[in-house]
Structure 1
Amino acid sequence: MKKGTVFIENDSYFPTEQQVMLNFQVHNLNETMKHLEQISVLLAKKKEISEFGKFILNEVPEGRLVELWEK
């Protein structure tokens, strides 16, 4: 079983009142971002690149944040 990541309560990476964040792994983050922009999905932050991969936070209609990750 894979374990989740724990954020501290006031972490700036996850700036919201929601208690959990969904994270989906995608094959190509740039293509996924283009598709989401075409269907008017809001991007909550700019793409971030780290040693763990590429990440982007999207805001779904209910106002929740969903993270997309390209490994």
Structure 2
Amino acid sequence: MNAHRSQLRSWFKSGEPWIWMIGGALAISLIMVVGLMVLIGVRGFGHFWPSPILSTVVTSPSGETSTVL
């Protein structure tokens, strides 16, 4: 039991677990940033995309027709 504890302590003192933790946090952060950029792109792209133009033909009581956009 003491040998296992000693190995665990030396492993923590080596700093290797913290390197893995920082790497994991960096990976999660990058995934979140890329996800946010994609979300902004998808939501923002619709703002600049032109919507379809609707046209209607209107007939006046005198029989004259006109197109309204």
Common topology (TM > 0.5): no
Higher share in strand: 1
Q: Which has the larger radius of gyration?
A: 2
Instruction: Flag the structure with more relative contact order, 1 or 2, with Cα contacts below 8 A and sequence separation at least 6.
Output: 1
